[in-house]
Amino acid sequence: MNKPQRTQVGIIGSGPAGLLLAQLLSRHGIDSVIVERQSRAHVEARIRAGVLEQGTVALLREAGVSQRMEREGLVHEGITLAFAGRRERIDLRKLTGGSTVMIYGQTELTRDLINARLAANGAIHFESPALVVEDYLSEQPRIVYEQNGQQQELHCDFVAGCDGYHGVARQSVSADKLQVFEKLYPFGWLGILADVPPVDHELIYANHERGFALCSMRSPTRSRYYVQCALDDKVENWSDDAFWNELRRRLPAESAAQLISGPRLEMSIAPLRSFVAEPMRVGRLFLAGDAAHIVPPTGAKGLNLAGSDVFYLSRALIAYYGEGRTDLLDRYSATALRRVWKAIRFSWWLTSLMHKFDDDPINHRLQVAELDYVTGSVAGSTALAENYVGLPFEKFE
């Protein structure tokens, strides 16, 4: 083993949570090192989320990485719910008193953050998987990782586990210190990415007797569409034509008529899961983002929750290094979890409302009745809108 390195905050994972945390800390002169299992090319190519809440957008501005997003991102003021052959628009801006969402791919956001980090000579060790977090209950936690086939140690004041659902940070904590809540949904999402103009200028969420469909986008020329599929379905079972035909069937006639199809750039199947590990802090190890929680993508909350965790964690660490305060570090887990559980609830509710769970026709009728209520009532559509644009961050200072 080589001589151990030292940093103030050791960060595992260069997804949105780890990169954004490092960027916010560096603006306050706090040193961090990121260890990342994958190569830079792999991290930058991962196709994932695309809807940013206002709070996430504000955080990217604060981190000084918003220039390209401001130029290329699309501000959306509403979404459409399609059901029973109808299309009903939810006016996010009007219902929330001015809030909107930003369409900007996670791929682009990740590239912006990596470029900013490397331009400021911040350390990211790519292709360097963390193996375990040691001594997290002591004042000197360590990340043991591998680089070029050799084991290395990173000694830190604090470790931020930002290494996603399959990472090692959470797994390093002994089982008696974490309580885990998990729900698996009995279906998945088959997604296609294609260079075709979006069917509508805003997102369409469709409830249909054949199953859920979502028309999303990454830019005015790149679309991201999904159809609900069986959990054991395989991408190999789907030709491009089969996908487009199934999507058309699930959309209202006027939208189906406008849908432009094209060859896939990517096609994948994602399972749907709700998962929370509590608490989000054990000793000097802090979990943030998917390392601590997973939501089904229906509410577009995964990436945004990584953002709100980082909002609280960055402020707690800045208060510690700037003023010697530990009170915000002590409040991190409970504060972050309050927002996490509200997003878990919203994502579960929207998933339950929009997907086909079984063949019993009463369930579809009940969904249509609820959609009729939600879209027809100011109270119902406001509750949807304010959760969709993102609940505000709590005061944390």
Ligand X SMILES: Cc1cc2nc3c(=O)[nH]c(=O)nc-3n(C[C@H](O)[C@H](O)[C@H](O)COP(=O)(O)OP(=O)(O)OC[C@H]3O[C@@H](n4cnc5c(N)ncnc54)[C@H](O)[C@@H]3O)c2cc1C
Pick the piece of the chain touching ligand X (CB under 6 A) from 34-42, 259-267, 335-343, 378-386.
34-42
How many Å apart are CA 38 and CA 36, to the nearest integer?
6
Residue from 105, 161, 297, 390 binding ligand X (CB under 6 A)? 297
**Judged by CB under 6 A, does residue 36 bind ligand X?**
yes
**Residue 207's closest CA among 379, 87, 89?**
87
Question: What would the DSSP string read from start to end of 337-386?
Answer: HHHHHHHHHHHHHHHHHHS---S-HHHHHHHHHHHHHHHH-HHHHHHHHH
**Judged by CB under 6 A, does residue 198 bind ligand X?**
no
**Judged by CB under 6 A, does residue 279 bind ligand X?**
no
Q: Is 263 exposed, middle or buried (0-12, 13-18, 19+ CB in 10 A)?
A: exposed
Quick check: 396 and 327 in contact, CB under 8 A? Answer: no
Least separation in angstroms between residue 270's CB and ligand X is 4
Least separation in angstroms between residue 392's CB and ligand X is 18
Residues 48-87, one symbol each (x = binds ligand X by CB under 6 A, - = not), give: xxx-------------------------------------
Quick check: 315 and 64 in contact, CB under 8 A? Answer: no
Q: Report the number of secondary-structure helices (H) and strands (E) in the chain.
A: 13, 19
Pick the piece of the chain touching ligand X (CB under 6 A) from 75-83, 162-170, 176-184, 334-342.
162-170
Site for ligand X in 3-22 (CB under 6 A): 12-18
**Residue 69's closest CA among 107, 24, 26?**
107
**Judged by CB under 6 A, does residue 112 bind ligand X?**
no
How many Å apart are CA 98 and CA 90, to the nearest integer?
13
**What residues form DSSP beta bridges with 31?**
none
Pick the piece of the chain touching ligand X (CB under 6 A) from 23-31, 85-93, 247-255, 289-297.
289-297
**Judged by CB under 6 A, does residue 43 bind ligand X?**
yes
Grouping H, G, I as helix, E, B as strand and the rest as coil, residue 397 is coil
Phi, psi of 145 (to 5 degrees): -140, 170
Residue from 11, 33, 35, 329 binding ligand X (CB under 6 A)? 35
Residue from 306, 317, 319, 337 binding ligand X (CB under 6 A)? 306
**Judged by CB under 6 A, does residue 213 bind ligand X?**
no
Residue from 114, 130, 227, 247 binding ligand X (CB under 6 A)? 130
How many Å apart are CA 167 and CA 132, to the nearest integer?
10
Grouping H, G, I as helix, E, B as strand and the rest as coil, residue 279 is coil
Nearer to ligand X, 17 or 30 (CB): 17
Nearer to ligand X, 315 or 364 (CB): 315
Residue from 101, 109, 162, 319 binding ligand X (CB under 6 A)? 162
Residue from 37, 170, 208, 315 binding ligand X (CB under 6 A)? 37
- Residues serving a catalytic function are 76, 205, 297, 301, 388
Phi, psi of 210 (to 5 degrees): -85, -15
Least separation in angstroms between residue 248's CB and ligand X is 21
- Where do contacts with ligand X occur on this chain (CB under 6 A)? 12-18, 35-38, 43, 48-50, 106, 129-130, 162-164, 167-168, 270, 289-290, 297, 300-303, 306
